[in-house]
Amino acid sequence: MAVEAPQQPEQAAGGSVEQGAAAGGGRLKKGPWTPDEDQLLVEHVRRHGEGSWNAVRRETGLLRCGKSCRLRWANHLRPNLKRGPFSPEEERLILRLHALIGNKWARISAHLPGRTDNEIKNYWNTRLKRRKRAGLALYPPDVEREVALVRAGKLRPIVDADGNASSLQAPLLLDAAADQFAWPAAPPFHPAFNNVAPPQPFQFTGNISHNPQALLAAQVPYLHHDEVSAGLGHANKLYADALGMPPLVPPSAQELPSNQSPADAGGPLEMLVLEQDQRLPGAALLRVTSMPELVYNENDYSAWPSGLSGGSGSRSEGDVTSHYGGKCDCFFDGVKPAKGMPASLAVAEEEVSGLFGGEELVAVWPDKPPESITKDDFNLQMMEMQHLMPPVPLPADEHGLN
């Protein structure tokens, strides 16, 4: 274990200088790097290659510890670093990888060429903070579902448990042996299911492997509304409710905001969540928005709909996903909540309110907006729900499910 130099900071131009007792007794500089320091480091690496970071100071006179040199090189000076904000594709990949392997920044960054672990970590921490404050789930619902399917063995993970790529370049594919979706098993001891038969596994009609469109649908947790309802009896309806599936939308509420047509459900917000090849033509799709495994694996039923939940449950710092993810967690990171409400948002709020019955919305859909969430955040959530719930023409008898 290296013994860090005792630190007695003193101010110097461009950063503090500290006593370095460990290696040579020189004074170590801290704080921002200067162009001259960068030049020294770059020159050293050009001559000797990466590594031997503690030798940098000996050989160049640079008053930086080896650790600082390594960090500066890795995060700022090495070639092929990509600059600028993350693309939607990169953001989505980060979400997927993080959902699978957690805070393994170095492993995650290995899958994003030109991006550093520090960069990704900063991105994630900012995102985490924002979503916690807004009371939102950590992952978009489809990512949660993707991870749950991976855990259930229905999807090949994009990385293995160690974060090594398995099929990064290819889109997620259903396991060839698992040619159907099954509803995740309900928690066996949940009171909501005491007297309800477990739902039958849901199956797509037809062989999904030979149906490109169904295969695409399988990659993203979209289920055709008709297929969902056809596969669900009363018990399954309860189960679907418990999963957090949104209520069916009456035909009378099919209008979309003026900037969105039914044939184009993929606006900028949608683009942040869905990869291009995962969006399906047409609008008659319904997203299953909850990953119950992620809920009951944590022994936290607070995310279950009120009335089904056995109790309010206590929430801890890490409960955001399990608490709120099951109902309305579709608030995307690329969209910064505006403090003021743009006119388009106000319109969206009205329209979404109309879809769900105005004030009842709060009682019916999300249990309630968390206290920490701002009105604008909540409005954005509602607008996102519209994206996720494009209008579906339904037979009249299906409206009774509401």
Partner DNA sequence: AATAGACACAACCGCGAAATA
Partner DNA sequence: TTATTTCGCGGTTGTGTCTAT
What residue ranges bind DNA (CB under 7 A)?
1-4, 7, 15, 23, 29-33, 50-55, 64, 66-68, 70-72, 75-76, 85, 103-107, 117-119, 121-123, 125-127, 129-130, 133, 336-340
325 neighbors 144 (Cβ within 8 angstroms):
yes
- Cα of 141 vs its chain's centroid, Å: 8
The alpha helices in 49-140, defined as continuous H runs, are: 53-60, 66-72, 88-101, 105-110, 117-134
H or E segment and range at residue 27:
strand 27-29
Dist CA 186 CA 165 (whole Å): 31
CA 124 vs CA 86, 93, 117, 369: distances in Å = 11, 12, 10, 23
Min dist. Cβ of residue 133 to DNA (A): 6
Dist CA 301 CA 308 (whole Å): 9
End-to-end alpha carbon distance in the chain:
63
Q: What proportions of the chain, in percent to the nearest 5, are helix, strand and coil?
A: 45, 5, 50
Dist CA 326 CA 144 (whole Å): 10
Q: In this structure, is the dihedral angle defined by the CA atoms of residues 271, 274, 277 and 283, taken in order, positive or negative? A: negative
